[in-house]
Structure 1
Amino acid sequence: MSRPIILRSLVVVGVASLALAGCSSDDSSGDSTSSPTAESTAAQGDGTLKIGTLLPQTGSLAFLGPPEFAGVDLAAKEINEAGGVNGADVETIVGDSGDTSTNIASQTVDRQLSQDVDAIIGAASSAVSLTVIDKITSAGVQQISPANTSPEFSTYPDKGLYARTAPPDTFQGQVLGDLIAGDGNNSLAILALDDAYGTGLADNVEKAYTAAGGTVASKQIYDPKAPSFEAEVSEAKASNPEAIALIGFDESSKIVQEMIKQGIGPKDVPLYLVDGNLSNTLFKDLPKGSMEGTQGTLPGAEASPEFRQALLDVDPKLKDFSYAPEAYDATIIVALAAQAAGNDSGRAIGDTLKQVTADGEKCTTYADCLALLNDGKDIDYDGQSGPIDMNDVGDPSKAIMGIYTYGPDNTYERTGSQEGDVPEPEQG
């Protein structure tokens, strides 16, 4: 049962570009290639916490990279200003994740493992993470993603070395399905891209929406690289839906244009977007007002003005803040886990992540948490993305889902939120 939506009136400053979180561009299987760093070696630690970033600098998700890199860099800066981890500065090693059309992610992981990283922040794409998770965890290195939302990770055999600061789409699907039904829409057409993110979120939206009494009139899984989406939109139109949920990435702009062409655009049929296509730039070429009233969901608390300014101080060119809080928090809790364990190895970090995010004394900055740890106290870090309360499978057990609405200028602002417990993963 979902909790009531908390409506807020606010102005979102500079939230632009796509919010491609658990996004990916293809389905992929895990890469089990042996790594150059053995788990037995990694378990020892060397006194210096080394964190690699596996985030998009190139490829179809490159626009998502800047806020995530800024989040990691800001966290590392604050960690070192507070005294570092176990008395030593944390080191970061920048790496590109590319997308699933290349093997850039695998090459980046190989390079970072050879440099003895203890943890890797990334990938942003669920499908990219699935190509390297076996390689990373088999090396005894902690992987933590700020943006993977595919439910698949909740039950993945990751040796206890995978975690994420974004909630799985069991939560986003529940919130979005409830929102669509709560708006009085009795039938729904779902269009979702064909990958782990798209199909997983589509299933969870359908589950929540039908549980609320709605009927899914049409559900189509499409190829995001298709030259045309005329057939998919035509089938959605034929189902005569009262609302449409579009779960995709940058191809969503082409789909919306086709919807408008066929008379089922946002002005004709209520449209709902997700973290993968909620954007202030994706629909900028559409006539003014084309997106007005469209709603969408994006995980995470609202970034405070102070946090946004701190990110801009790190990267003055930053125009998007999506998943910066989650990247920041991922870095902070890795450092806190290493500090609490007195050991910077990936294994020690993995064993301690839950301990520093739940059931202790609340703290919200690295410096404050470090002071509590130095006093011998247990801590519960609540971060920029909201409460984390990591569970046994490395998922946040509590989360916040933002609800956004487009105005007449085809840009969105936060109009509500829902906070609650993340549904437990289904055991297959």
Structure 2
Amino acid sequence: MKLTAGAGALALSFTLAACGGETASEEPEKKAAPKGDGTFTVGQLLPQTGSLAFLGPPEFAGVDLAVKEINEAGGVLDKPVASHKADEGDSDSGIAPAEADGLLSKKSDVIIGTASSGMAKTVVDKIMSAGTVLFSGANTSTDFDEGDFSKPDLYFRTSPSDILQGAVLSNLLIEDGRSNVAILARQDAYGETLAEQIKVNLEDSGAKVATTSFYSQDATSFEAQVNEIAGSGADAVVVVSFEEVKKIMPQLIAAGAGPAKLPTYFVDGNTADYSDTFKKGELKGVKGTIPGAETSDDFKARLATVDPSLKDYAYAAECYDATIVAALAAVAAENDSGEAVAEQIIDVTTGGTKVKTFAEGVELLKKGEDIDYDGVSGPIELGETGSPTAASIGIYQYDDKSQIAPVKYISGQI
């Protein structure tokens, strides 16, 4: 992996072992994909409730905008796209499987979701077994490029794995002069993976990890973990969490380990607007990372046509692009079934003539040309595991009103 940024950034390079899998000669002969019902149907399994509910509005808006623009361009296979929404919830509610069943009963060919890697693991087998694509705009767990997921299947994502975010955040810590970092993280697939990636990259760069303290994903008190961080002698702390950061930060501040005394860093699961949550100055100077390229003013204006109240934009672009890519794949396959779509998803994001909109892509596909869709989230370039091979990570910083603004964007190849 190579990272590039503005002047002053450290140059880091990583060599990643290729995921194991069968060679082309070992693959069994593929059966023809079943024919779809003629209507390309998009399910949305995204957070309306739970610890990631703050990510729901931009993600739903991204899908809604894509569906709107696809239909304005003539739809898929000359028919309007159908769309249905459902709530992934979180581990406390456990509603994701039942909500997924509802979307499958509505004949969803592709389901955009989930936001949480952990929630994806609870529904991915069910969805793929139904012949439906699960296409996430926000899953970042490295697990989705390993084991059975390293082989072609019906799972895809437009957000890069935490290998990239871990490297970028570690690079940022080193740039800022941090050499003895404490990590406070959720004990789940997301928290454990990202904490490990941060630790590995810090240590590879010569820094130390003072302590890594995990808390249960359903914890209501963080006293033991906060005391461990406060007493670790660290010169910075990385908080890998979801919405529970609203409870964690007051405890860190009370323990003398808040941002005013201990430089603090967030990740994509908790980097959000907290102007209505924290007191003036409490988060000032905190930095965070969110996968994705800069959200352009044009894209924000287009999102406002489907959600005028939208204020946060995390993963809106990735969910938009996942929907566009899936629709282009259906056009390329001349078949709206999930299995047919899956066979074309990687092809429409690599090689061929560059296109940046659904309308451009359809025009070329109808002429029999190969296309390479580059979206609002970046180059995409999906690899054989269904994950991006190139992406961007944004670095954000909080002001004294607990609002975030982008500082710079890091591009990387995985």
TM superposition score normalised by structure 1: 0.88
Residue among 178, 195, 215 paired with 1:222: 215
Aligned partner of 2:173 in structure 1 is 180
Offset at 1:370?
Answer: 1.1
Aligned partner of 1:125 in structure 2 is 116
Separation in structure 1 between the aligned mates of residue 338 and residue 219 of structure 2, nearest angstrom: 41
Aligned partner of 1:336 in structure 2 is 328
Offset at 1:116?
Answer: 1.8
Matched to 2:169, the amino acid is L
In structure 1, stretches of 5+ residues that fail to align are 8-39, 423-428
Aligned partner of 1:167 in structure 2 is 160
Matched to 1:5, the amino acid is A
8 Å contact kept, 2:51–2:244: no
1:233-281 Cα deviation digits (max 9, x unpaired):
1111222011111100111122221111121211111111000111212
8 Å contact kept, 2:92–2:218: no
Confirm whether residue 314 of structure 1 aligns to residue 327 of structure 2: no
Confirm whether residue 382 of structure 1 aligns to residue 374 of structure 2: yes
8 Å contact kept, 1:86–1:339: yes
8 Å contact kept, 1:99–1:128: yes
1:168-208 Cα deviation digits (max 9, x unpaired):
11110010011111211111000101110010100111111
Aligned partner of 1:403 in structure 2 is 395
Aligned partner of 1:205 in structure 2 is 198
Offset at 1:127?
Answer: 1.0
Residue among 232, 235, 257 paired with 2:228: 235
Separation in structure 2 between the aligned mates of residue 364 and residue 114 of structure 1, nearest angstrom: 32
Offset at 1:100?
Answer: 2.0
Separation in structure 2 between the aligned mates of residue 315 and residue 334 of structure 1, nearest angstrom: 22
Offset at 1:42?
Answer: 7.5
Aligned residue for 1:45, secondary structure, equals: coil
Confirm whether residue 96 of structure 1 aligns to residue 87 of structure 2: yes
Separation in structure 1 between the aligned mates of residue 94 and residue 398 of structure 2, nearest angstrom: 36
8 Å contact kept, 1:312–1:318: yes
Confirm whether residue 52 of structure 1 aligns to residue 48 of structure 2: no
Residue among 278, 289, 296 paired with 1:297: 289
- Give the root-mean-square deviation of aligned CA atoms: 1.8
8 Å contact kept, 2:290–2:394: yes
Aligned partner of 2:259 in structure 1 is 266
1:19-57 Cα deviation digits (max 9, x unpaired):
xxxxxxxxxxxxxxxxxxxxx998221221111111112
Separation in structure 2 between the aligned mates of residue 286 and residue 86 of structure 1, nearest angstrom: 49
Aligned residue for 1:129, secondary structure, equals: helix
Aligned partner of 1:77 in structure 2 is 68
Confirm whether residue 280 of structure 1 aligns to residue 309 of structure 2: no
Offset at 1:342?
Answer: 1.0
Offset at 1:84?
Answer: 1.3
Separation in structure 1 between the aligned mates of residue 94 and residue 261 of structure 2, nearest angstrom: 42
Separation in structure 2 between the aligned mates of residue 222 and residue 290 of structure 1, nearest angstrom: 23
8 Å contact kept, 2:52–2:269: no
8 Å contact kept, 1:166–1:326: yes
8 Å contact kept, 1:43–1:140: no
Matched to 1:196, the amino acid is A
Aligned partner of 1:148 in structure 2 is 139
1:302-328 Cα deviation digits (max 9, x unpaired):
111111111111111222211111110
Moved more, 383-392 or 225-234: 225-234
Identical residues among aligned pairs (%)? 47
Q: How is 1:364-379 mapped onto 2 (pairs within 5 angstroms)?
A: 364-379=356-371
Moved more, 286-295 or 75-84: 286-295
8 Å contact kept, 1:181–1:213: no
Offset at 1:141?
Answer: 0.8
Separation in structure 2 between the aligned mates of residue 50 and residue 4 of structure 1, nearest angstrom: 38
1:83-130 Cα deviation digits (max 9, x unpaired):
111222111122221222234221122122222221111111111111
8 Å contact kept, 2:44–2:84: yes
Aligned residue for 2:239, secondary structure, equals: strand
Aligned partner of 2:103 in structure 1 is 112
Number of equivalent positions: 390
Aligned partner of 1:5 in structure 2 is 5
Aligned residue for 1:60, secondary structure, equals: coil
Aligned residue for 1:116, secondary structure, equals: coil
TM superposition score normalised by structure 2: 0.90
